[in-house]
Chain A
């Protein structure tokens, strides 16, 4: 049984990424120094470590939830904005284990170019993916949503203006 200690630094506390080890979501805890830690036990000699940032607009029912949010928030007045930048984290590593291991992961600041994380470990690491990328699907949906909202707001303003002019 191998025990892998994962340490994460540079994590934005508001946007803690999803961490997967061999496809399973790993919960991490904040330590006294402000970084995050997780401990994983595995029988395998190699683990697959992945980080992701799941954007709200990537889901299958995004349109339904967006519509409900828009209505409940009184036509978007009280609605928080969806992430405009639509940057997702796409990281996948294969790490060979030699016993009890410690892997330090430093998250870089968000940018659409450059590496998303830096790994510090004595083990052999195969980097398959390691980047921040603008999610085109989410970005397209964000623009669609904005256009629809603007159209609805204009329509509402016209309707309101019509009724006000009628009453006056």
Chain B
């Protein structure tokens, strides 16, 4: 019988640490998902930059070039920066996605083995992250294949 029921034994302490690690990996995998999808999101932002610039020209009936003489330079430089960011994330997509999937799987395994507390939300998030990234990877591979 333990001296006090509130005292932690070495095994329980280690289990608690593993659960803590699971939560840390879960948090990292959420950031990983954001970074993995940043490439696609950056391309969306790039598209919005073009659409927004084009709308400004149409709605101002071209007077935007008079009001802001270097409008086209600003517009193109913003689009260029967006393009660079997008291509950086797209080039490193497989690295981000791979790391994220590894952390998600580790998190899932560590949290599902905890019998003391339930981590339903985190387990669902990890599962969703794995599913989304696998779809992203398949789409990317199919796209590259074409």
Q: Could you tell me which A residues sit within 8 Å of B by CB distance?
A: 13-16, 18, 20, 22-23, 27, 50-56, 58-62, 65, 68-69, 72-74, 78-80, 88-90, 92, 135
5 interchain residue pairs of minimum CB distance: A23-B1, A52-B5, A59-B13, A78-B27, A59-B8
**Pair A69/B6 contact, Cβ less than 8 Å:** no
Nearest-CB residue, chain B, relative to A133 = B6
Name, among A14, A27, A53, the residue most crowded by chain B CB atoms within 10 Å (CB to CB). A14
Q: Are B24 and A72 in contact (CB under 8 A)?
A: yes
Q: Is the CB of A61 within 8 A of B13?
A: yes
User: Given A61-B10, A65-B13, does the pair A20, B24 have CB atoms closer than 8 Å?
Assistant: no
**B residues adjacent to A (C-beta < 8 A):** 1-2, 4-8, 10, 12-13, 16-17, 20-21, 23-24, 27-28, 31, 115-118
Q: Return the chain B residue nearest A137 by Cβ.
A: B6
Q: Are A52 and B6 in contact (CB under 8 A)?
A: yes
User: Which of A59, A69, A79 has the most chain B CB atoms closer than 10 A to its own CB?
Assistant: A59
B6 touches A54 (CB 8 A): yes
Q: Cβ of A59: which chain B residues have Cβ within 8 Å of it?
A: 8, 10, 12-13, 16
